[in-house]
Amino acid sequence: MKMIYTSFDDAVSDINDGSTIMVGGFGLVGIPENLILALVDSEVKHLTVISNNCGVDDWGLGLLLKNKQIDKMIGSYVGENKEFERQVLSGELEVELTPQGTLAERIRAGGSGIPAFYTPAGVGTPIAESGEIREFDNREYLLQTALKADFSLVRAAVGDQDGNLVYNKTAQNFNPMMAAAGKVTIAEVEQLVETGTIDPNHVHTPGIYVQRLIEGKQEKRIERLTIRDEA
């Protein structure tokens, strides 16, 4: 019932200039590596990208940035590279910073038919300056609206032919909410299995949220290798 692709280029071929896309991952963990590479190849421009971070210089969303394919970035922690800073200061790149929990909840709201909600995060800070504050039980909260995307690019450890997804460890992160908030959700999976293989109790993203699937091999680059010595 789902579109199963074998070419990453084909899987993203209808992502057009000016599209709003969500891209899963936290740092470089759980990012749809090959879908991002295909976007770089596609040369699509003027993207609005919603993602917690913006990759590093030479990997992940950093590649789209270097290629000047992003007009606007919505995230919670960005600018881990010089090119990001340069583009922001020169006005080539617009940035909207959102507290991480607010970002996660805005995306969840987008997929859940909740147009807006209130959160304590950001009250009394610069991000509330143009916002709407309201009291509930004598405490102040900030109104936040839902985020949706034309396309969501997510990565899972396992996907079946019906689009059910299972994530591995902290590679889950933003992927489930983004899968639900995209008009078209494209899942890059490490392993594509037959329907019926995944225990229905273990599904993280029900297949209804996924329109396209493609299997691929990831590099899984490590940003900050921290190890302990054998005792």
**In this structure, which amino acid lies at residue 33?**
E
The answer to whether residues 19 and 183 touch, using CB atoms and an 8 Å cutoff, is no
Per CB under 8 A, contacts with a copy of itself among 190-209 are 200-202
Stretch that binds a copy of itself, among 122-130, 162-170, 176-184, 206-214 (CB under 8 A): 162-170
Nearer to another protein, 91 or 200 (CB): 200
Nearest to 25 by CA among 60, 64, 67: 60
Q: 183: helix, coil or strand?
A: strand
Decide whether 43 or 194 has the Cβ nearer to another protein: 194
Q: Which of residues 4-43 bind another protein (CB under 8 A)?
A: 26-30
CB of 86 to another protein, least distance (A): 10
Residue 77 CA to residue 213 CA, distance in Å, equals 28
CB of 229 closer than 8 Å to CB of 46: no
DSSP class of residue 128 equals G
Q: Are 150 and 184 in contact (CB under 8 A)?
A: yes
Residue 119 CB: number of other CB atoms within 10 A?
Answer: 15
Binding of residue 133 to another protein (CB under 8 A): no
What is the distance between the alpha carbons of residues 108 and 174, in angstroms, rounded to a whole number? 9
Q: From a copy of itself, another protein, none, which one binds at residue 117 (CB under 5 to 8 Å depending on kind)?
A: a copy of itself
**Is 160 a residue that touches a copy of itself (CB under 8 A)?**
no
In the list another protein, a copy of itself, none, the entry touching 122 (Cβ below 5 to 8 angstroms by class) is: another protein
What are the phi and psi torsion angles at 52 (to 5°)?
-60, -45
- What is the rounded distance in angstroms from the CA atom of residue 214 to the CA atom of residue 153? 11
- Map the footprint of another protein across residues 41-60, applying CB under 8 A: 52
Binding-site size, another protein (CB under 8 A)? 79
Q: What is the smallest separation between the CB atom of 64 and a copy of itself, expressed in angstroms?
A: 28
141 binds a copy of itself, rule: CB under 8 A: yes
- Do the Cβ atoms of 100 and 77 come closer than 8 Å? yes
In this structure, what token pair is assigned to residue 27?
Answer: 């740092």
| Nearer of residues 41 and 223 to another protein, judged by Cβ | 223
User: How far is 158 from 174, CA to CA, in rounded Å?
Assistant: 16
User: 130, 136, 137, 225: which one contacts another protein (CB under 8 A)?
Assistant: 225
For residue 105, state whether it binds a copy of itself (rule: CB under 8 A): yes
Question: Hey, which residues between 155 and 194 contact another protein (CB under 8 A)?
Answer: 157, 160-162, 164, 167-177, 180
Q: Verify binding: residue 90, a copy of itself, rule CB under 8 A.
A: no
Residues that bind a copy of itself (CB under 8 A): 105, 109, 112-120, 134, 136-137, 139, 141, 145, 166-169, 200-202
